[in-house]
């Protein structure tokens, strides 16, 4: 019998794994063989190593397209090995390093390729991956913002949708995310958001007058904060982002609350709950005057759809709200209903 943490991970995030690059057979293998959450990281690391080996072999044999595919997929496996796994810091750190290194090794061999941007921030830096379409620039661009437990390593399938429409992508790790986890979560995300947008706009391949933002889950909240204050942002997509992160705190999965406690640098769960109250759009929603698309699932178990409706009523720039009755958190179970539509929406605005 599976323990409660393992069951929670499978029930809440299964569709998301498959939607973002995990092979369904591998996911079934994990869900059918594991019984304890404590074995989670090792099991995904083992599967990630198999994909990495395929990638390293392809590199050795100059099969570069295959190498890029295998290594970027291995990165996603390593990412999901550690995404909410805090029980063993050595395992967590090993998985994190593997997720970062395999994707970095893949970037030159993706189609189109990518490159790392290290953006100075406070006393260190934030990290993003820039990919541009093969056509001549300068290109419109979209900055992709992860959520509480996601990172830039999870975004290959989403990037591709924008790239196919002639938009460059800039997938970032902000404070509390991935390579920037040593920074605490920042409720006022317009601060790091402005720094990242300035870095993106300064790249010669990018048209600084045509930049959009896309965020998923807590990243949807972050994107909305950026949209409320940063003049470089011309359009915003909020995918399942909360209006008030603390509103549903007591009903959040324990793994989610654990992640927030750790990444907000809270001493205990009570302090984490207090910090969660700072992640609120009440004072800024009325400042979102750029085009805004809200995508939400009525079956979202993390943040109720009432939060999306509230944002839609308060944001003057609202273009449309897509509320799917059968959608879960992130609408990962129905990606065919919203991903292409959102990419079309963003491309139309940035190319107008």
> pLDDT tens across 263-321, in order?
999 999 999 999 999 999 999 999 999 999 999 999 999 999 999 999 999 999 999 99
Number of Cβ within a 10 Å radius of residue 15: 17
pLDDT of residue 283: 96
Q: For residue 116, which of 82, 105, 161, 62 has the smallest C-alpha distance?
A: 105
Residue 45 has pLDDT above 70, yes or no: yes
Long-range Cβ pairs for the range 337-344 (8 Å, 24+): 338/239, 338/295, 339/158, 339/161, 340/161, 342/161, 342/214, 342/237, 342/239, 342/293, 342/295, 343/161, 343/162, 343/164, 343/165, 343/167, 344/165
Residue 250 has pLDDT above 80, yes or no: yes
Number of Cβ within a 10 Å radius of residue 290: 21
The fraction of the chain above a pLDDT of 70, given in percent, is: 100
CATH 3.40.50.1820 boundaries in the chain: 112-352
pLDDT band at 10 (very low <50, low <70, confident <90, very high): confident
> How far is residue 72's CA from residue 66's CA, in Å, rounded to a whole number?
10
Token pair for 339: 């991903």
How many CA within 13 A on the CB side of residue 133?
A: 20
Instruction: Give the residue-averaged pLDDT of 24-53.
Output: 94
pLDDT of residue 112: 97
> How far is residue 272's CA from residue 252's CA, in Å, rounded to a whole number?
13
Q: CATH for 112-352, among 3.40.50.1820, 3.30.365.10, 3.40.50.10440, 3.90.1150.10?
A: 3.40.50.1820
Average of per-residue pLDDT values in the chain? 96
Q: Kindly give the pairing relationship between strand 114-121 and strand 124-131.
A: antiparallel
Q: Tell me yes or no: is domain 1-111 CATH 1.20.1440.110.
A: yes
Token pair for 293: 């698309």
Least confident stretch, 4-18, 57-71, 103-117:
4-18
- In angstroms, what CA-CA distances link 85 with 91, 94, 163, 189? 8, 12, 32, 25
pLDDT band at 1 (very low <50, low <70, confident <90, very high): low
pLDDT band at 12 (very low <50, low <70, confident <90, very high): confident
- 99 SS3 class: helix
Per-residue pLDDT tens digits for 101-118: 999 999 999 999 999 999
> How far is residue 323's CA from residue 217's CA, in Å, rounded to a whole number?
15
Instruction: Give the residue-averaged pLDDT of 68-74.
Output: 97
CATH 1.20.1440.110 boundaries in the chain: 1-111
Residue 182 has pLDDT above 80, yes or no: yes
Contact 290, 299 (CB under 8 A): no
pLDDT band at 352 (very low <50, low <70, confident <90, very high): confident
pLDDT of residue 78: 98
Go through the chain and tell me how many residues it has.
352
Contact 337, 343 (CB under 8 A): no
> How far is residue 52's CA from residue 46's CA, in Å, rounded to a whole number?
10
Per-residue pLDDT tens digits for 73-98: 999 999 999 999 998 999 999 999 99
> How far is residue 228's CA from residue 304's CA, in Å, rounded to a whole number?
22
Residue 229 has pLDDT above 90, yes or no: yes
Per-residue pLDDT tens digits for 123-181: 999 999 999 999 888 999 999 999 999 999 999 999 999 999 999 999 999 999 999 99
pTM here is 0.96
Residue 234 has pLDDT above 80, yes or no: yes
Residue 2 has pLDDT above 80, yes or no: no
């Amino acid at each position: 019998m599976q323990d409660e943490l393992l069951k929670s991970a499978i029930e809440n995030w299964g569709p998301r794994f498959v939607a973002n690059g995990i092979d369904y057979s591998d996911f079934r293998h994990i869900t059918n063989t594991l019984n304890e959450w404590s074995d989670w990281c090792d099991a995904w690391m083992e599967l990630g190593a198999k994909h990495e080996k395929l990638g390293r072999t392809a590199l050795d044999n100059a099969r570069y397209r295959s190498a890029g595919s295998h290594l970027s997929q291995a990165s996603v496996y390593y990412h999901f090995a550690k995404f909410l796994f805090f029980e063993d810091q050595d395992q967590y750190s090993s998985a994190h390093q593997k997720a970062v290194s395999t994707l970095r090794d893949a970037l030159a061999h993706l189609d189109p390729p990518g490159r790392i941007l290290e953006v100075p921030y406070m006393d260190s830096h934030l990290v993003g991956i820039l990919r541009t379409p093969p056509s001549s620039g300068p290109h419109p661009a979209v900055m992709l913002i992860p959520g509480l437990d996601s990172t830039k390593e999870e975004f290959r399938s989403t990037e591709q949708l924008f790239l196919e429409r002639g938009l460059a992508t800039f997938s970032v790790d902000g404070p509390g995310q991935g390579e920037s986890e040593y920074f605490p979560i920042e409720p006022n995300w317009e601060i790091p958001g402005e720094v990242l947008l300035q870095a993106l706009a300064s790249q010669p391949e990018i048209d600084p007058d045509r930049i959009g933002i896309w965020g998923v889950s807590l990243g949807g909240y972050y994107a909305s904060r950026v949209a409320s204050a940063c003049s470089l942002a011309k359009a915003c997509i909020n995918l399942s982002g909360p209006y008030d992160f603390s509103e549903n705190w007591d009903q959040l999965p324990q793994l989610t609350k654990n992640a927030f406690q750790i990444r907000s640098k809270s001493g205990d769960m009570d302090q984490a709950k207090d910090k969660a109250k700072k992640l609120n759009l009440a004072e800024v929603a009325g400042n979102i005057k750029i085009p805004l698309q809200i995508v939400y699932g009525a079956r979202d178990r993390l943040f109720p759809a009432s939060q999306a409706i509230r944002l839609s009523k308060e944001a003057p720039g609202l273009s449309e709200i897509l509320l799917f009755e059968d959608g879960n958190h992130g609408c990962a179970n129905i990606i065919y209903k919203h991903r292409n539509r959102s990419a079309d929406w963003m491309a139309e605005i940035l190319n107008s």
